[in-house]
Chain A
Amino acid sequence: MVTVTSSRSFSPGRFVLYALLALFCIYYLLPLYVMLVNSLKPLSEITAGGMMALPKDWTLAPWLSAWSSAQVGVEATGLKPYFLNSIIMVVPAVALSTLVGALNGYVLTKWTFRGATIVFGLLLFGCFIPFQMVLIPMARMLGLMGLAGSVTGLIFVHFVYGIGFSTLYFRNYYAAFPTELVRAAQIDGAGFFRIFWRILLPSSGPIAVVCIIWQFTNIWNDFLFGASFSDFSSQPMTVALNNLVQSSTGVKEYNVHFAGAIMAALPTLLVYIVAGRYFVRGLMAGSVKG
């Protein structure tokens, strides 16, 4: 990857620099490489000490097995039903939390009131609490609501604990939006929702993408809520993957585990590759604001 074409002379210092950068690339890519190559080889090649080697016998069998026939928990269903659970869970949870976050951000910046900052602060603190603190009452509450062990219950939980971050994103974004425009529209007789719909929403594209990606990644990758509030039929992908890998019966099919791991990683990885810029923006907005 080191090509010397610039007018700058190629100093040893820069060689070391590029070598270091390349070394770190290898470090970060190594686990992905291990997952990928081992998901495409027969089990015997792995157990014979060939984890780092390319497959001698290329095979898709581990992928097929992980998808539709591997033993997950008590049933040999593969990961497919759980992948679908995750999709059914993630789409409404992301949509709802983003929409509510947008409205909240709008109110907190353009219709601000006494104590708005305190409300926002309390909301924000809710993002950072250890969720161990809500597991017991939430389990009880989902039971009372008749949502225990269901995908709907998980949607609800992710929606509830997703509002904080989505509000944060939209609030910080709308804070920079000229308030004069809102006031002018108000004088023209536009109401609360009309202003939101016609003036703020059309310019919210970038932050909506940031928010959707953040929520999608977080909810897809969640394990704690999935493990606590789902039963065998409603488990999300992460929980099923863990069950697949930890199941102690029979031979450990490492190649199937790796294929399953890539399946669980693929949706978020794809989003990251397609819209990495927005992903990074979301990460940063969640930590260093402004």
Chain B
Amino acid sequence: MSISETANPRGSVADRLRDALPKLVLSPTVAIVAIFVYGFILFTLYLSFTDSRILPTFGLVGFENYDKLFRLRAWDTAVSNLVIFGVLYIAICCVLGLLLAILLDQRIRAEGFIRTIYLYPMALSFIVTGVAWKWFLDPGIGIEAVVQGWGWTDFKFNWIKDREMAIYTIVIAAVWQTSGFVMAMFLAGLRGIDSEMMKAAQIDGASTFALYRRIIIPQLRPAFMSAFVVLAHMAIKSYDLVIALTGGGPGTSTELPATFMYSYTFTRNQMGIGAASAVIMLMTIAAIIVPYLWSELREKK
């Protein structure tokens, strides 16, 4: 039996190859990530400082694209829409997710079945969700028409056609799709809580409400953190749902940064401005994700 010849400093080609093998196996991935993630990020960053229009060009114009971007009314709309959408989406998902998790944590019959129902929208494409809600919320055939048909002829629900309210329909559909996922995260958190502590509190006569408010919910902080990070980054990246549900309309009333970037880059031929908007999106996401990954990876050590 040849005991670990790797320790032998003979250094033949075969030995060295064997030592290098793990890194060799990893190297295609490293190369791919270096080029297609970080190289591309640098490329787009560079483009955001150029006069690119239909195609990438390399004449540097300094911060002109950023300057133009921040003056654009369409970008302003996209950003304020993202704030409205993001805040409501995250808040409602968290509240609903927590509520559902607590309800399901009461030794429910058929819990697995109910959980499956709450979570299935997460398996769907945002395009499917968008199509379903687009027609469901359509005043001509959807819920408004149905309720009017039932006799409440004054009933109005035309948010999707209303410039002021259309952004809230995106919230409705997005919450429907993701709240079950948040429920699953909180449920996992609840199941991880030390049951001894809960028993002790119950013996001390704490009401169920007090038990949750004082003891259980504070312990869900890590689940809240994860939910926030996941939801925030999904909100910033939201593109498909808007395209399928409203197409950014009526007018430009439901444009988000992701749809703004796409239309400025590929249909309005303002590639420099499009690249600048992508850079802003990346920086926003990085501000949320980097600290999170940092703490996760350090804990692991």
Interface residues, chain A, with chain B CB atoms under 8 Å away: 1, 3, 14, 17-18, 20-21, 24-25, 27-32, 34-35, 38, 46-47, 49-52, 100, 103-104, 107-108, 111, 113, 117, 119-126, 128-138, 140-141, 160-161, 163-164, 167, 175, 186-189, 191-192, 217, 220-224, 227-228, 238, 241-242, 245-246, 254, 257-258, 260-262, 264-265, 268-269, 271-273, 276, 279-280, 283-284, 286-289
A51 and B236 contacting across the interface, CB-CB below 8 Å = no
Q: Are A223 and B223 also in contact (CB < 8 A) when A100-B28, A133-B40, A276-B116 are?
A: no
Q: Which residues from A are CB-within-8-Å of B33?
A: 122-123, 126, 163-164
Pairwise interchain contact B128-A264, C-beta atoms closer than 8 A: yes
- Chain A residue at minimal CB-CB distance from B241: A223
B23 A107 Cβ-Cβ under 8 A: yes
Question: Closest B-chain residue to A124, C-beta based?
Answer: B293
A221-B124, A260-B131, A265-B128 known, 15 other contacts, Cβ within 8 Å: A21-B108, A25-B117, A28-B180, A31-B176, A38-B135, A124-B297, A132-B262, A132-B277, A160-B36, A220-B125, A238-B127, A238-B240, A257-B135, A283-B122, A287-B229
Cβ of B110 and Cβ of A1 under 8 Å apart?
Answer: yes
In whole Å, how far is B56's beta carbon from the nearest beta carbon of chain A? 7
Look across to chain A and name the residue whose beta carbon is closest to the beta carbon of B179: A28
Query: Given A31-B129, A134-B41, A138-B40, A189 and B2 touching (CB < 8 A)?
Result: yes
What 0/1 readout, one digit per residue, does chain B (261-290) give for beta carbons within 8 Å of chain A?
A: 110011000010011011101100110011
Can you list 26 pairs linking A and B with CB atoms under 8 Å apart?
A: A21-B103, A28-B120, A30-B136, A31-B121, A34-B132, A49-B149, A104-B26, A107-B23, A117-B297, A125-B289, A129-B282, A129-B285, A133-B278, A134-B41, A136-B44, A136-B275, A189-B1, A189-B2, A217-B123, A221-B125, A242-B131, A257-B135, A258-B132, A265-B124, A272-B120, A288-B188
- With contact pairs A21-B104, A269-B123 given, residues A241 and B128 touching in the complex (Cβ less than 8 Å): yes
- Closest A residue to B134 by beta carbon equals A245
Which residues of B sit under 8 angstroms from A271, Cβ to Cβ?
Answer: 123
Q: Kindly identify which residue among B127, B285, B301 contacts A223, using a CB–CB cutoff of 8 Å.
A: B127
**Interface residues as binary, B142-184 with A (CB distance below 8 Å gives 1, 0 otherwise):** 1101101100000000000000000000000000100011001
Q: Which residue of chain A has the shortest Cβ distance to B243 in the bound complex?
A: A242
A contact patch SS: helix
- Given known pairs A242-B243, A245-B244, the reply for A108 and B127 (CB within 8 Å) is no
From the candidates B41, B133, B233, name the one contacting A31 in the complex (CB within 8 A): B133
Question: How many angstroms between the C-alpha atoms of A287 and B109 in the bound complex?
Answer: 28
Complex: A124 Cα to B33 Cα, angstroms: 10
Residues in A neighbouring B39, C-beta threshold 8 A: 137
Kindly state the separation between the CA atoms of A155 and B106 in the bound complex, as whole angstroms: 45
Residues on A with beta carbons closer than 8 Å to the beta carbon of B119? 276, 280
Chain A minimum-CB-distance residue to B229? A287
Complex contact B185–A167 (CB within 8 A)? no
* Residues from chain A with Cβ under 8 Å of B140 in the complex: 47
Cβ < 8 Å to A, chain B residues 209-260: 222-223, 226-227, 229-230, 233, 236-237, 239-240, 243-244, 247, 258
What is the bound-complex CA distance between A161 and B117, given in angstroms? 30
B177 to chain A, nearest CB (A): 9
Interface residue? B13 (CB, 8 A): no
Q: In the complex, what distance in Å separates the CA atom of A167 from the CA atom of B33?
A: 12
What is the chain A residue whose CB lies nearest that of B184?
A: A280
Within 8 A of A (CB), among B1-25: 1-4, 18, 21-23, 25
**Chain B contacts for A163, CB-based, 8 A:** 29, 32-33
Q: How far is the CA of A117 from the CA of B243 in the complex (A)?
A: 38
Q: Are B43 and A283 in contact (CB under 8 A)?
A: no
Q: Say whether B136 contacts A31, CB under 8 Å.
A: yes
Write out the residue numbers on chain B whose beta carbons fall within 8 Å of the beta carbon of A262: 128
B141 interface hit (Cβ, 8 Å): yes
Given the interface pairs A126-B33, A163-B32, A288-B185, the reply to whether A113 lies near B125 with Cβ below 8 Å is no
B38 adjacent to chain A (CB < 8 Å): yes
Q: Which listed residue (A47, A50, A137) contacts B44, Cβ 8 A?
A: A137
**What A residues does B296 contact at CB under 8 A?**
289
Q: Which one of B36, B129, B258, B297 contacts A130 once the chains associate, using CB atoms below 8 Å? A: B258
Interface contact A129-B136, CB-CB below 8 Å: no
User: Please, which residues of chain B bring their CB within 8 A of the CB of A137?
Assistant: 39-40, 43-44
> Are B25 and A283 in contact (CB-based, < 8 A)?
no
